[in-house]
Amino acid sequence: MENLISVVVCTYNQEDTIARTLDSILMQQCHVPYEIIIGEDCSTDHTRDICKSYAEKHPNVIRLIANKQNKGVLDNYFDCLLAAQGKYIADCAGDDFWTDPLKLEKEVTILEEHPDVTLVHTNWLCYDEEKGTTYPPHSADSKHTRPFIEGAEILEDIVIQTQRPVIHLCTSLYRRDVFLQAYQEDTYFFRNKDFGCEDVQISFIMAKNGRIAYLSDITLSYSVGNATISNTKSEEKQYRFVRQVTNLSYYLCDKYKLQSNRIDDYFRQRIFALSMHAFRCHNSAMRDEVRTLKKRWHVADNQSIRFANLIMSNNTTWQIALMARSLFVKWKKRKELLNGTIR
């Protein structure tokens, strides 16, 4: 259908939250009809059963894609996009939920009235799953919250975002034809699993091909507190995630010839961050890979990188530094505990 909206929900092992997500989408009041495409990625809990019950209850709205084997986030997401029938696409992760019943109505109105706008996004809040409370994310750059902005103005920002996404895709509505054209021209850009995410690709392509619109309305509660790809206590997983996302950043900078001092600083910061993950893991293979990545990404040394290399230059200094760090962490925790007791 020409004016259909496709809402993509990718889910895996989210039996505690998927119903909340689907309910938040089904409450939408929009003059444009919408479908919900659920990409259920072989969950080992009761997520699939819950999705099936919703699909049976809403057969004219929900299409359940029950994967026969686990695809992973990247393939699951882009397979759902290719299955979408709508002119416009929105998505909501299986642990997040929309809070504004007019989210789609507000966004589709902008896209219909402004053909040069490729994507609309909104404000959002973090939702603490343990406490059941919300709080604002890191402050956004003022230019990112202008009602309309030329996409070319934020390409660099999308590439080097570190504290919060320039565009939170779960708040967004964007044009499917822009995605399809970009996908056909460079499928590798979207499907390379060593890029580690799917939202940056969409945000970048939409910004490259038109204007971006922003609404200050809060439409999403973004779930925090549970372990995710980008939010994990595992040093090795954090290392892998940072490496993958920075690989994507380098690919974009190289392909589209993006150069600036900010970008240079970004890659130095990422090399140092990877070095620290390797240091804390006491993993020489990771350390050697960081050195290779530094050359591949053409990163110049700074004082922090040189210091990290010096510490990890031999096993003795490495072990001494790890012991010193362990003692410092214990002292810091004890001090915080004492301060808390005194207060």
pLDDT of residue 334: 85
Contact 73/190 with Cβ under 8 angstroms?
no
Backbone Cα Rg of the chain: 22
At residue 340, does pLDDT exceed 80?
Answer: no
pLDDT of residue 227: 53
pLDDT of residue 225: 82
As a whole-number percent, the residues of the chain with pLDDT over 90 amount to 89
Q: What angle do helix axes 18-26 and 47-57 make, rounded to 10 degrees?
A: 20
Find, among 51, 61, 68, the residue nearest to 13 by Cα.
51
Which DSSP string do the residues of 72-139 spell out, in sequence order?
-HHHHHHHHHHH---SEEEE--TT-EE--TTHHHHHHHHHHH-TTEEEEEEEEEEEETTTTEEE--SP
Average pLDDT, the chain: 94
Model confidence pLDDT, tens digit, residues 186-239: 999 999 999 988 999 999 999 999 999 999 999 999 999 865 544 456 899 999
At residue 154, does pLDDT exceed 70?
Answer: yes
Q: H/E element holding 291? A: helix 284-296
Taking the model in full, what pTM does it have? 0.91
**Can you tell me the mean pLDDT for 46-50?**
98
pLDDT of residue 169: 97
- 332 against 301, higher pLDDT: 301
3-state secondary structure at position 343: coil
At residue 343, does pLDDT exceed 50?
Answer: no
**Angle, alpha carbons 202-203-209 (nearest 5°):** 90
pLDDT of residue 342: 46
pLDDT of residue 232: 52
Contact 21/92 with Cβ under 8 angstroms?
yes
Model confidence pLDDT, tens digit, residues 270-326: 999 999 999 999 999 999 999 999 999 999 999 999 999 999 999 999 999 999 999
User: Across the strands, what pairs with 90?
Assistant: 7, 173
Model confidence pLDDT, tens digit, residues 89-141: 999 999 999 999 999 999 999 999 999 999 999 999 999 999 999 999 999 89
At residue 78, does pLDDT exceed 70?
Answer: yes
pLDDT of residue 234: 87
